[in-house]
Structure 1
Amino acid sequence: SLSSQSLTMLVLNNTNDQPLTFLLVGIPGLRAAQVWIAIPFCLLYMVALSGNSMILFVVLHERNLHEPTYYFLSMLSATDLGLSLCTLSTTLGVFWFEAGEINLNACIAQMFFLHGFTFMESGVLLAMAFDRFVAICDPLHYITILTNARITQIGMSMLIRNVVVMLPVVLFVKRLSFCRSMVLSHSYCYHVDLIQLSCTDNRINSILGLFALFSTTGFDCPCILLSYVLIVRSVLSIASSEERQKAFNTCISHITAVAIFYIPLISLSLVHRYGHSAPPFVHTTMANIFLLIPPVLNPIIYSVKTKPIRKAIIKVLIQK
């Protein structure tokens, strides 16, 4: 770890506009076991990368999957890939090699992509909810509503939204001065974690962070809930119980994806807000697991529950 003298020198360097270095940490209190803890983390990253790459490949490769539902699924897989890749190097670097040093610019870049991909995933889940809403509530106009052009517009609007809400967050972090401990609380750069180390007023940063959160996940989650209220109302009006069951079955994969994204996110927020008495390793472990649960489980869920995806993957594997 960095000595107090080296930390002081880092602060002095920052005043001279030289690169400032932070120290990422693994799991507090379990430093001796981190090499072994990194093994399951590495396996989870491999599952996430291979699973989402496979989903992307089969959707692009198989013509019968060139439909709105699977285009949105490919967006979800691309987002999960980005989310895994932006934390892979620092997390495994800290766990295996104790390579925890990261300069301010690299830290801010990682923070931008980490939060950006998280917000992107929320937006994709909302788009997928809209897809299920149209498919069940207005099936006759499904093809005319969800055209390729409209799907592209939805994807671009989510990307633009993330850039617009994250740019002010990044720019105002750059204006902060850091003169406290340079030790962060995670194995990656997290906005709240980073601004808490500043020695200048960070209220604007906190407000911008909350605005970014509420304008993305805070907006998407109620809209997803509303779409399912309308879907349930529409499905219950169907006379045939067999058709009702079939309609609900088409939503199971998406409902599960929403649950494994929002439940850990809300749990982590509650632990950060109210779990001050919890041991530090609880916060860090939950933060790392939160980033891995959706990328690991989403490909498995859609491979198991979606027959066309499952058949396409089996076909590719047999050909290989």
Structure 2
Amino acid sequence: MLPFNGSCFNPPTFLLIGIPGLETLHIWISVPFCSMYVIAILGNCTILFIIKTEPSLHQPMFYFLSILEGNLSYTDFIQMLLGFLFHSGRVSLPSCLAQMFFIYLMIIMDSSVLLMMALDRYVAICKPLRYMNIMSKSLLATLTLTALIRGISMVCPMVVLASRLPFCQSNVIQHFACEHIALVSLACSSTSHNRFLGMVVAAIIIIFDTICILASYTSIVHKALQIATGSLQRKAFHTCSIQLLVMFFMYSSFLSSSIMYWAGQATSQDVHNLLSAIYLLLPSTINPIIYGMRTKEIKQHVLRSFGRSPTSSSISHVST
């Protein structure tokens, strides 16, 4: 830590110390996170390869899924693992701000993709005869661009406000990554605007997006209950179960971390950091497993890629 006398400074580097209080266990802590990281990379790359090479999967649903699986910030995870393994946690202010930008852009894009997938499933089940007309390539491009613009417009103000803060408390970030609150807590001026903006972004992701997604799947369930054919009902409920399961893992981990930060001193910093690591890594690790095991088309091609012929008993789930 640098010595300070209360005056403002522009630190050449910040020091990310990982999980404070558990520095001696960083090597052991890195083992499960390395495992999750490897699983996330292998799983996501497998799903992306199958979607790209299989023409029958070139559909809107799998297009959104490919965005979700490809939305993994590898640089941030590598920085985290290097810090755990080799204590190489020094980062400049511009690099720290860039890391913050991509972390939150990744989170917001994930939430936006879940919104788009909910819309796709609503149209597919509630308006099946108009599906191909509604979910056109132009609409897919528009939705993707809108999601990207939404993410950038929400993250940029956070990064700009953080870049203008004077730092005089310390150059030690009590975290393994340049998260918003972890960085602004080092400022020696008021951070009320930064914290308020962070709460607004979290509220939009957790509350607004969740309400829209649940409204979509409520309509799907209502429509499914009116369908006489048992197979179509099972397809609708199966679709809901997959998407809601993915949504649960993503929003619950992000919400837990946000609540811990809002709770302030009520929880220790190591709990904050462990929860942050979980919400950054868990969705990327769980998603390919859920979609690979629960989506018939993907499961068929995965088995075929490993030289196994899918049987009717091994693939009993209906398609999403």
TM-score (norm 2): 0.90
For 1:44, give the aligned amino acid. Answer: M
Cα pair 1:24 1:184 within 8 Å, conserved: yes
Structure-1 separation of matches of 2:107 and 2:118: 17
SS at match of 2:62: helix
Corresponding residue for residue 211 of structure 1: 200
Distance 1:93 1:10 in 2: 31
Q: Which residue of 1 aligns with 2:316?
A: none
- Structure-2 residue corresponding to 1:50: 42
Provide the C-alpha distance between the structure 2 equivalents of 1:10 and 1:203, rounded to a whole number of angstroms: 20
Partner of 2:13: 21
Q: What's the CA shift for 1:20?
A: 3.2
Unaligned 5+ segments in structure 1 are none
Superposed displacement of residue 63, structure 1: 0.3
Specify whether residues 170 and 280 from structure 1 end up closer, same or farther in structure 2 by C-alpha distance, changes over 3 A only: closer
Which of 201, 226, 245 does residue 234 from structure 2 map onto?
Answer: 245
* Aligned-partner Cα distance in 1 for 2:259–2:158: 22
Deviation at 1:242, TM superposition (A): 4.3
1:40 aligns with 2:32: yes
Task: Give aligned-pair identity as a percent.
Answer: 38
Residue 178 of structure 2 aligns to a residue whose secondary structure is coil
Mapped contact 1:28–1:281 kept (Cα < 8 A): yes
Give the counterpart letter for 1:185 in structure 2: Q
Give the Cα–Cα distance (whole angstroms) in 1 for the partners of residues 69 and 20 of structure 2.
31
- Partner residue in 2 for 1:112: 101
**Contact 1:26 1:186 (8 Å CA) reproduced:** yes
Q: Give the ranges of 4+ consecutive aligned residues of structure 1 lying more than 4 Å apart after TM superposition.
A: 9-13
Quick one: distance in 1 between partners of 2:232 and 2:303? Answer: 28
Match of 1:146 among 114, 129, 135: 135
The whole-number CA distance in structure 2 between the counterparts of 1:286 and 1:215 is 20
Q: How far did residue 317 of structure 1 move?
A: 3.6
Is 1:164 paired with 2:156?
no
Q: What is the aligned-residue RMSD (CA, Å)?
A: 2.1
Greater share of residues in helix: 1
Contact 1:11 1:20 in 2 (8 A): no
Q: Which sections of structure 2, spanning at least 5 residues, go unmatched? A: 309-320
Q: Does 1:302 align with 2:285?
A: no
Deviation at 1:28, TM superposition (A): 2.5
Residue 280 (str. 1) matches residue 252 (str. 2): no
Matched letter for residue 34 of structure 1: H
When residues 35 and 144 of structure 1 are mapped into structure 2, their CA distance, relative to the original with a 3 A threshold, is same
**2:63 equivalent to 1:71:** yes
Equivalent in the alignment of 2:112:
123
Scaled by the length of structure 1, what TM-score is found? Answer: 0.90
Contact 2:17 2:172 survives alignment (8 Å):
yes
1:113-141, Cα deviation, whole Å (9 max, x unpaired): 00011000000001011111111111111
Letter in 1 for 2:119: F
Alignment partner, residue 223 of structure 1: 212
How many residues are aligned here? 308
